[in-house]
Amino acid sequence: MEIEHKYTFVPLVQKNLININDKKIQEFLTKWGIKGNFIIQHFTFNEPFQKYHKYHLAEAFFKDSTVAKELLTKQGNYWAKQDPKNGIVHKSGAICKRFDMEIENFLISDNLRAMLLDEECPEYNLYLKDEREEFIFFIFQMLVLGGILCQYEDILNPYLEVTKAMYKDLIKVQKNEDTDLSISTIVLQVIAKDSKGEAYFPYDPSHMQNIGFLLIDSVTHEITTFLHQFGEYCLSQ
C-alpha cells in the first residue's frame, strides 16, 4: 500500500522574470490589454515527488492554508510558424484581413483571430485539438485575443516573440546525461473551487481568456502559478 504524501508549501519571493519584465515585452502587454491582468507566483515544497503524484499535489496545493492566503491576498518546445501559405499571414508577415464578425464577444477582423475562434474557417484546422491544449498555445491565444482595451497587431511576429519570451521564463529545460534537452516542468491546467463549489482560480472559467495553470518543477520542487483574468482595465501591480 502506497503512503499518501503530505505536502508543506512555502511562498517564495517574486522572481525577476527577465524576459517578461523586458521593457519592450511590457509595452506589448500594455498595448494588448494584458498587463496587470495576469499574476505569477512561486512556491516551494520539500517532500518527495513523482510525476504520477501530480494531481494529488495540485489538490493539496489548493487546500493548503498558506497557499490560500497568499493567492487570495495578492492583487491581481518552440513556437514554429506554420506553412507560409496557410492563409494567416502574407509573405511579408502581415496578418491577412477578413470581413468583420463577432465570436464570443471578440471582434474577428483577420485570419489570425479566426484561426483561434472560428471553427467554420479553413485556418481553424491548422492546429489539432491536442495542439490547442498545449500551454504555449494558451499563452499565444491569450496574447492575440488580449483584454477589452486591446490594440491588435497588423503583423504576426510581435505575438510570436512575446509568446516565446513568456514561455522561456515559465518553462524550465534541463540537459540529460546524453546532452539531450528535456522539459522538467509539468504543466497542469486547473480550476480550483471553494467550499461552495464556486471557481476562484480562475474566476468564471467559462470565459476562454480566464485561465489558470500550475507549473511544477520536478527537479527543484517548485510550483509556479499562472493566472489570467480577462478584464476591462489594466490593473497596476
Nearest to 223 by CA among 20, 66, 45: 45
Residue 139 backbone phi and psi in degrees, to 5? -60, -50
In single-letter form, the type of residue at position 3 comes to: I
| 35 in a structural domain | yes
- Diameter over CA atoms, the chain: 61
What does the pLDDT read at residue 5?
Answer: 65
User: Does a structural domain hold residue 190?
Assistant: yes
Q: Please report the pLDDT score of residue 234 as a whole number.
A: 46
Number of domain units in the chain: 1
CA angle 203, 207, 211 (to 5 degrees): 60
Which among 177, 213, 228 has a CA at the least distance from the CA of 61? 213
This prediction has a pTM of 0.86
Look up the domain containing 76 and give its range.
9-46+72-228
On whether residue 163 sits in a domain, the answer given is yes
Note down pLDDT in tens along the chain; length 237 residues: 344 568 889 999 888 999 999 999 999 999 999 998 899 999 999 887 888 888 888 998 998 888 877 774 333 333 333 454 568 888 888 999 988 999 998 999 999 999 999 999 888 988 888 899 999 999 999 999 999 889 999 999 999 999 999 999 999 877 766 667 777 899 999 999 988 998 989 989 999 999 999 999 988 899 999 999 997 644 444
Q: Could you tell me if residue 61 is inside a domain?
A: no
Around Cβ 10, how many Cβ atoms within 10 Å? 14
Residue 200 lies in a domain: yes
Q: What is the pLDDT of residue 78?
A: 32
DSSP character string of 86-111: SSSB-TTSBBPEEEEEEETTEEEEEH
How far apart CA 5 and CA 9 sit, in angstroms, is 13
* Residue 65 counted as domain residue: no
pLDDT score of 85 = 58
